[in-house]
Each structure stands twice: as C-alpha cells, then as structure tokens.
Amino acid sequence: MKKLLGIVVLGLFSCNLLLAKDIKCVEGDCINGQGTEIISFPKSNMSPGDNKYIGEFKDGKRHGEGKLTTRTGRTFVGEWKNGKKDGYGIWEDKYFKYIGYFKNGRIHGSGEYIAKNNQTLTHYIGEWKEGFQDGYGTAKYNNGSTYDGEFKKGQKHGQGSWKWENVGKYEGGWKEGKRDGQGTYTYLEDHKTAEGIYIGQWKDGKRHGQGTYTKKDGTIQKGIWKDNGFYKKD
C-alpha cells in the first residue's frame, strides 16, 4: 500500500469540481485576467471546506500563472492551461513535495518527488509520464536501497542498477519491477545468500536460465538455474 501511495499520490489527486457546492469569483477578473476564485464543498463531502485559487484566467478557466490551495492543505503553485496544471509547478502537502513539469493536469516530463513520511519510495528524480515514473530516473527507498535506471508506469523496467549497502548490488535487466533477462548480482555480507557473484539469466526476480555463481570461497556453480536454485550443470 505504501508503495502504491508513492506512485498514486502523484498521479491521481485532482480537484473534483463536480462535487463543489459553489464556485465564486471573489476578487478581480475570473474570466480574462487576474482574479481570486473560491470553490466551496458541502459538509456531506468527505473533506468539506473551500479551495482557493489566485491567479490568471482565460475564457473563465485557470490559465497562466496561479496558486491553488485546497481544503485539505495541498498547494500547487505554477502554470495552468485550460483549467488544468500544465507546465512547470510545485505541488505539495504534508505527505510529499513534487517540483517539475505537468501536462493536461498530470505529472509529465522531468521532475523531482520528495516524500515527507515513511513511504517505500522516499525520493525520485527523473522522467514522468501521465503521473507515473516513466523513462530514466534515480530512486531512493526507505530501506536504504537505491536504483538508477529505466522505469515504465512506475516500475523498474529496462536496464538499471540497484544497490543496497552491505546486502547486494545488481546491474542488468528488469521487467515490471523484477530482475529479468541478463544481469549480474553481487551478494554482500548481510545477504542471506553466501557472498559471491552471479552472472547470468533472471526471470520474475529469480535466477533462471544459464548462469554462473562464484562464491567468495572460490566455489563455482555453472549451468542451468531454475526458480532461483541451481538445477544442473551444462
């Protein structure tokens, strides 16, 4: 759940005006100019109260530079287009802070995410697509591990390097968040597997296929691996 929060919190939250009880322009020009807009939500809503937008408008929609403060304490300061976040901005609440680019209301382009609580993903800087980490990026996790490489729809996917101090490091292929394809895993002293280096094939996060495991004591296992265990010699 925490892992999903680290992704979803950036991709899905929006101001649902369909639930609003009242929208008022309380100052300035909220049609074509600079103004202040108050969006009120009924007490029957899970989060009753007011959202407040101060900034530029075009044809009655947020367009240009502006700041939105929601009833839940979330803020967005940045660029808008046709009523949606679009361009550069800073999005922040008590759980996270995002600094970077948006498109059509969602995080899209290059940006930096910083968690403010104990989420699985604590920091990410890199490329985004439609609210998810997608492309090249660098991530840090709450267990101390780091990943530098390719992502797709919020998961490690493609080529990348993963490191966890005193536990292990891996360089190679990934698929949907798991080690997959050709890769090299170095097992360190705190890993439950004996210290050594495995070079070979992976599938679904496990050693699977042709590979060679050289232990620290010089013992070598070379051959076919299946479901993470040594299956047979060549």
pLDDT digits (tens, 9 = 90+) for 169-188: 999 999 999 999 999 999 99
CA–CA dist 61, 69 (Å, integer): 16
Q: How many CA atoms lie within 13 A of 193 on its CB side?
A: 18
pLDDT at residue 11 is higher than 60 = no
Which residue has better confidence, 87 or 47? 87
Which residue has better confidence, 9 or 159? 159
Token pair, residue 27, equals 């100052």
Of 145, 138, 105, the C-alpha closest to 11 is 105
* Confidence (pLDDT) at 5: 36
Of 231, 156, 166, the C-alpha closest to 200 is 231
* Confidence (pLDDT) at 189: 87
Cα angle at 21 between 16 and 23, to 5 degrees?
Answer: 80
Contact between residue 66 and residue 54 where contact means Cβ atoms under 8 Å apart: yes
Q: What is the mean pLDDT of residues 82-107?
A: 97
Token pair, residue 233, equals 């010699």
CA–CA dist 228, 213 (Å, integer): 11
pLDDT bin (cut points 50, 70, 90) of residue 20 is low
pLDDT bin (cut points 50, 70, 90) of residue 46 is low
* Confidence (pLDDT) at 198: 97
pLDDT at residue 21 is higher than 70 = no
* Confidence (pLDDT) at 76: 98
- Mean predicted lDDT score pLDDT of the chain: 90
pLDDT bin (cut points 50, 70, 90) of residue 45 is low
pLDDT at residue 1 is higher than 80 = no
Alpha-carbon torsion, ordered 58, 62, 64, 68, to 10 deg: 160
Q: What is the pTM of this model?
A: 0.86
Q: What is the mean pLDDT of residues 189-203?
A: 92
* Confidence (pLDDT) at 176: 98
* Confidence (pLDDT) at 7: 42
CA–CA dist 3, 46 (Å, integer): 24
CA–CA dist 11, 132 (Å, integer): 6
Helices (H), the chain: 2-11
Largest CA distance in the chain: 78
pLDDT at residue 6 is higher than 60 = no
Q: What is the mean pLDDT of residues 183-201?
A: 92
φ/ψ of 2, rounded to 5, equals: -65, -35
Of 86, 105, 34, 93, the C-alpha closest to 69 is 93
pLDDT bin (cut points 50, 70, 90) of residue 2 is very low
pLDDT at residue 19 is higher than 60 = no
Question: What is the residue extent of each domain of the chain?
Answer: 19-81, 94-164, 165-234
pLDDT bin (cut points 50, 70, 90) of residue 44 is low
Token pair, residue 12, equals 């899905």
Tokens 């070979």 belong to 200
pLDDT bin (cut points 50, 70, 90) of residue 85 is very high
CA–CA dist 126, 137 (Å, integer): 4
CA–CA dist 21, 118 (Å, integer): 35
